[in-house]
Amino acid sequence: MTANTLIKDLYESVDAKSINYLEQILAEQVRFRIGNYDIVSGKQAVLEANIGFFASIKAMSHKIDNIWMVKDDIICNGQVSYVRLDGSEFSVPFATILKLKENKIIDYLVYADLTEL
């Protein structure tokens, strides 16, 4: 699996507000954090956190600017645009760091200022 393929598949799934790809790619012992929310640990808890986040917005789309792979770490950055439940829009730069082990994500860390979301 290449870094570009993983990021493309991950963000296509996330933008569709689907957890299907996450179910396949997350390790059982995964750690997840988005913005300044607390870290969530364990695959099922991470899937539930994503479902909850998806329900809190109407839509989102990611534009990836750069992707880097260093050993088993993938880093990407870009712009994410959200449509809030009230229809208003909000965009913010983001960066994601993924740590892989045996082709599964064990760390899924998303850095973005979501305070206005």
Residues of the chain falling short of pLDDT 70: none
Ordered by where they begin, the domains of the chain are 3-111 (3.10.450.50)
Burial of 1 (0-12, 13-18, 19+ CB in 10 A): exposed
Contacts of residue 33, defined as CB under 8 A and 6 or more positions apart, other chains included, come to: 39, 40, 108, 109, 110
Residues 11-21: tens digit of each pLDDT: 999 999 999 99
Q: What is the pLDDT of residue 1?
A: 73
Residues 57-79: tens digit of each pLDDT: 999 999 999 999 999 899 999 99
